[in-house]
Amino acid sequence: MLDTTEDYIVEIDHLGFARGERRIFDDLNIKIRRREITSIMGPSGTGKTTLLRMITGQLTPDEGTVRLNGLVVSELSRTKLYEMRREIGMLFQQGALLTDYDVFENVAFPLREHTDLPERLIRYVVLTKLHAVGLRGAARLLPSELSGGMARRVALARAIVMDPKLLIYDEPFSGLDPISTGVVVRLIRHMNDALGISSIVVSHDVNEITAVADRSYLIADGRVIASGSPQQLRADHSEFVQQFIHGMPDGPVPFHYPAADYSEQLLARVEE
Amino acid sequence: MILWIRDLSLTVRGALQTFGAVMIFLLDLFSRSPRTLVRRFPLVVAQVYNAGTLSLTIVMVSGFFVGMVLGLQGFDSLARFGAEDSLGAVAALSLFKELGPVITALLFAGRAGTAIASEIGLMRATDQLLAMEMMAVDPMDRVVTPRFLGGIIAMPLLVAIFNAIGITGTYLIGVSLMGVDSGVFWSQLHANVDLGDVIEGIVKSLIFGGAASLLAVYEGYTCIPSPEGVGRATTRTVVSSAVSVLVLDYLITSALI
């Protein structure tokens, strides 16, 4: 099948970005297919969250382009950018629920801001979304009364309340117990397939990603090191991919931070 | 010596940069205010209620004691000139023109200002502001401008309450304790305070309220998103509000006299 723009919801071309002296991305190329779950993996500090900020237009790339639905994100006017964001649902690492409001009002927030729906309809929509994440019974709890896993499920309900075309998950499994992780894995799959949307999952939890992603990109040193289905990644024999997938402490990513020679430093005379 | 001059110039430049940033922030808030007042009126009302009730108790208690001290000191000073009958007028002028707006603004900055700064700072630190932006809701419109306007509207109301209770305190001391005639107290007050004095107080309270809430929302919105950053923003809110209120007080007074 020929690849056309139609097949991709996000296209990242020759992306370059630097923070001060440090180059974060260097000629990064990623394409995200519609209706698939694409994972972006990489060691901590490789700029995964920075990449998400470029896709959503919070940061502008130094070189190259990020296209969303065929439009170059960094060239959009503020109004267009906000219009575009209505079609994206984003799940933040810690949920980022509004602490002043209860669960119901958190999920209702985008509806109240962007629509003039009557109260009955808002109630209907919010309760169905909460039911989808299994938290209809928690509608009147405050964010401070929720566990980490529950907060993330509420944030997911909020992310899908405007029926987005793209759902972005930033480290959805970090800090969750095994049961909550299992629930979130199932929800990511379920939301993607039931709503017919596209999903991007940024994470470094290899096992969970393998269970849920259709396609994965492994980034390190500002570029894509490997990509493909989880099976293809596991079969990849490059040292780095093996180190990352199997969680080995030493390898291409060294255990030791660069330092002077060990014995020399230990035996060196201390200047008084 | 040269190092000292360099340090001084860096400090001055830093201060000017901050001042410029605050002014740009203020212009941005002003440009959003009319729209916010129309479209998000309920939010503004909620913030007037918030800022107002937060500071209400402390303003009332302080007003009462300031009024009583005015009664004691005023009576003592005026008695030396045999002018204790003017106590009502002196107390009212001091309260309406100076003490009311200034002390209320300082209390407001300490109570409501810090609450606003830390609230917005925590929203920043917990990604709530970012989440709003991602939901295509501008946090400047949704969170910051209503709090700014709420503060401006709440201040004159608080000052009015402070003044009323302050006068009551002075009356209690002057009339009940020191024996100034009640009728003389009120008639002196009535005869010597004119509309201009009251308006001066209202102008001051609006400007002080604007300054205190501007600095509170600015410090909160621009704070470093960490527990330490939020703490520092809260402290800076009190310090910068107090200094600005006193400087502005001098400038306004010298312009009006």
Q: Cβ of A93 and B127 within 8 Å?
A: yes
- The pair of three-digit structure tokens given for residue B173, joined into one six-digit string: 């001391």
3-state secondary structure of A56: coil
Contact with chain B for residue A144, Cβ under 8 A: no
CA of B50 to nearest chain A CA: how many angstroms apart? Answer: 13
Nearest to A96 among B131, B136, B137 (CB): B131
Residue B31, domain member (yes or no)? no
The arithmetic mean of pLDDT across residues B242-246, rounded, is 94
- Please identify which residue in the block is written with the tokens 């007042």: B37
Q: Cβ of B135 and A113 within 8 Å?
A: yes
Write down the pLDDT at residue A211: 81
Nearest to B135 among A93, A99, A110 (CB): A110
Q: Cβ of B136 and A109 within 8 Å?
A: no
Write down the pLDDT at residue B92: 92
Q: Cβ of A92 and B142 within 8 Å?
A: no
Domains (ranges, CATH) in chain A?
Answer: 5-87+165-267 (3.40.50.300), 101-163 (no CATH)
First to last CA, chain A: 71
Q: Which of A198-207, A258-267, B40-49 has the highest mean pLDDT?
A: B40-49
Q: Cβ of B130 and A58 within 8 Å?
A: yes
Taking the CB of residue A64, how many other CB atoms lie within 10 A of it? 18
Identify the closest residue of chain B to A164 by CA–CA distance: B135
Residue B157, domain member (yes or no)? yes
Query: Alpha-carbon distance A75 to A69, whole Å?
Result: 13
pLDDT over threshold 50, residue A57: yes
Residue B29, domain member (yes or no)? no
For A126-172, give the DSSP string. Answer: HHHHHHHTT-GGGTT--GGGS-HHHHHHHHHHHHHTT--SEEEEEST
CA of A235 to nearest chain B CA: how many angstroms apart? Answer: 37
Distances A13 to A1, A10, A203, B159, B188 between C-alpha atoms, Å: 21, 10, 21, 59, 80
Taking CB atoms and an 8 Å cutoff, what residues of chain B touch A94?
Answer: 126-127
Dihedral (Cα; B94, B100, B103, B104), 10-degree rounding: 180
Contact with chain B for residue A83, Cβ under 8 A: yes
Write down the pLDDT at residue A59: 86
Considering its fold, how many domains does chain B have in total?
1
Identify the closest residue of chain A to B125 by CA–CA distance: A96
The arithmetic mean of pLDDT across residues B206-225, rounded, is 94
The arithmetic mean of pLDDT across residues A81-90, rounded, is 88
pLDDT over threshold 80, residue B94: yes
- The pair of three-digit structure tokens given for residue A234, joined into one six-digit string: 């596991």
Residue B180, domain member (yes or no)? yes
Residue B17, domain member (yes or no)? no
Residue B18, domain member (yes or no)? no
Write down the pLDDT at residue B75: 92
Taking CB atoms and an 8 Å cutoff, what residues of chain B touch A98?
Answer: 123, 128, 131-132
Angle, helices B145-171 vs B41-80, to 10°: value is 30
Distances B120 to A77, A132, B108 between C-alpha atoms, Å: 27, 31, 17
Domain that holds residue B74: 53-256
Beta bridge partners, A37, equal: A199
More confident call, A272 vs A204: A204
Residue B43, domain member (yes or no)? no
Q: Is the predicted ipTM greater than 0.90, yes or no? A: no
Query: Alpha-carbon distance A241 to A225, whole Å?
Result: 8
Beta bridge partners, A200, equal: A38, A168
Q: Cβ of A96 and B128 within 8 Å?
A: yes
Write down the pLDDT at residue A272: 56
* Torsion region of A229: left, alpha or beta (phi above 0 gives left; psi -120 to 50 gives alpha): beta
Write down the pLDDT at residue A4: 53
Residue B13, domain member (yes or no)? no
For A66-97, give the DSSP string. Answer: EEETTEEGGGS-HHHHHHHHTTEEEE-TT---
